[in-house]
Structure 1
Amino acid sequence: MLDLKWIRNDPQALDEAMCARGAEPVSARILSFDAERRQHLTELQTLQSRRNEASREIAAAKAARDEAKAQALIAEVADIKAKIQEGEETERRIDAALADLLAQVPNIPLPDIPVGEDEEGNVEARRIGEKPVFDFAPKEHFELGEALGLMDFDRAARMSGSRFTVLRGDLARLERALGQFMLDLHTREFGYEEISPPLLVRDNALFGTGQLPKFSEDLFRAGDAHWLIPTAEVSLTNLVREEILEEAALPLRFTALTPSFRSEAGSAGRDTRGMLRQHQFYKAELVSITTPETALDEHERMTAAAEEVLKRLGLHYRVMTLCTGDMGFSSRKTYDIEVWLPGQDTFREISSCSVCGDFQARRMNARYRAEGEKQPRFVHTLNGSGTAVGRALIAVMENYQQSDGSIAIPQALRPYLGGQERIGKLA
């Protein structure tokens, strides 16, 4: 959520940022509600002041035995009380309307973000590694998995519908190995604290990270009070909600390997074959809580941690700076890491690392006390995939496929598979 004082001071900057994001200007509506609210508060304060003054006059009239004046003042106070009560109802209505409007305004892109309408406006920051060379036509992951007898979409569809997959045998083990490898890398080499968080959260947690109220259709509801997490970002970032941290404790770095659940609303017809776009998938999430001064350096550090996963796996990838029209709702700057998939002959996103400024912190009331200061400040939050396990599995399968349909296991994963070097057809 954006700072209302900042909007008052520079409404043009807000509208320019919305325009860059492809959204409608919104400052006039916000300032209209704000002006109405402030005028109404002034009127309430005037009424409250007159009520207090009249109450004192009642006491004076009674002391002077002027009963007529006292009764007239009592009637006036009763009328004022009714007006105050009505005014407080109006205040709550205006506050709710203003809060609802502010809750739907996306974050402000940083000044160096490329302006663009969609993914076509993204800018490549760097490219690492080389495309693998095959002496045969490489297959897509679902062709490989089904031929090996280790990837079953039909049985998954019978029990759960489309966009679910059953992995068997060595592919299930490989998926588990990838998640364990990622956790070990992030905790042992990058200093993230491993967390086992709730997978079910309430409305306020999703509001805090920006998924609600705007993106409810992308989520799965679980009963009346809970939602399934679309990413562990929600659980990890909300670890600091409604807290005041000490500056010395920052940065906080959390990681978790959890299932994620997404409805994939609006993606009908896209990636319907295979497991690129699933309702349920595993992801190693990275979250950092920092001071404003260190957030941008932390963003580079987080992106490097996600990149290291792909480097250790020997995968070719590129890092893209997302343009204003392709950024997430809560982000000020985002790097997407896209891994090369030979079966598709293209790059596909495998990680997204974002710095959010104090946007989420304001929604969660997450603050810290800077050394030597009394007034708390809002923390800055960051999140990233480190990485999506299912897409890493796809990348390993397609990049390490062999001419006989088997899959070589990257060296970094072999210790997690008892030294196994290859995955062959299910016997």
Structure 2
Amino acid sequence: MAKDIQTPPGTGHVGTMTPDQKELLKEMWSQIFSIADSGAVNIPSDVLAATETASAGSETASVKSKTATKKGWFGTSKAAPPAAAAGEDTPSARVNLAEIGLSVEQLRPALWNNILGDHPDSLLLRFLRARKWNVNNGMTMILKAFKWRLEDDIEEVKSKSEDELDAKYRGFRLQMELGKSFVHGTDKEGRPIVYINVRLHKPADQDAKALEKFTIYVMEVGRLMIQPPVETACLVFDMTGFGLANMDYNFVKFLVQCFEAYYPESLGILIIHKAPLVFWGVWKIIEPWLDPVVASKIRFTRGDKELTDIIEAERLPNKYEGGRDQFTYQYIPVQAGENDRMKDTETKERLLDEWKAHMWKFEALTREWIECKKVEGARAEDVIENERNALAKELRVAYFKLDPYIRARNLYHRSEHPVLQADGTSVWTYKN
């Protein structure tokens, strides 16, 4: 049996793959195309027991694809034959998607709603790196993440306004009004910084589901702020004033699960800042829950000036000693009419069709890319790769044209100096 493969530094991302990594990425795309035609996939046997009781073919109405057909996600084009799975550390079995509670109709929107404006390869590479380039295990992980996104209706936090979410989940908007968590600026590595003010959290102030939805909201908004080639975020857990009344073990478990299972390879560094003595008893409980990869990204800082080792002083809020950015968090409520474009169904459908046209082209090029070394007279691999990368950029442009018609505006669109721009870029304003 093949061993897990570590990712050498500086490799494993779009534009930095080794030849072996590239072949494993092709294998994963090939398995995805196999699902499109057959509705089945190779799943390691040790995870079947956990999924076989799921309701067969259960569907979430809000995420059904209007364009899906009985012939698969990608229409009538013939799929490339699936390559042998790499690194089969566990035995695998051929199972129908219905057996794990998924359907072909659900999978396609789950995939592309997750890609957003990123290079499509980037999503698959996250799961491959997280599973040490074991294609079968990577497929298992991504399918379970898709199932979670469907069952928990992740699209809801994107398509509904903060007021609508608050009406459904008690205490959702309170998280933003308090400034319990917000994103501001980037660190020295260009990673967006998420600040969490732990002292402001009291478990009884909101429903548990509201806190989960807010966490997903921050995750999904944060993804828009991660600018290629950066792929991760920086989290600062500010423990100033922390007491046991602020501790919420269920939330910690949920957050750990998000980073390990649903948003893999998205955490760059997690800073636990100014943890008081009482926290260390809590830490003894939490530490065993952490995956070694996540645990390796945690750093403890005792004083404010240590933060400037990670965040430039000009970008660090001046509430921290050594910080020069005169930033004060303020929540700006939903503005009347800010989501009117979501009602313009004619324009939305036109832009959706344009985005899908690019998507179909990318799929066709990917099939050609998978097969090019096996077919006599095929185009050169590097020629196809250049076309795929150019098309990925066109996909990004098409997605962000569509974005305001399918995504509600958020705090980072309506601030005095908007962070999120119409073209998908992020612009941070610092007051020094």
TM-score, length of structure 2 as denominator length: 0.21
* Structure with a larger share of its residues in strand: 1
* Structure with a larger share of its residues in helix: 2
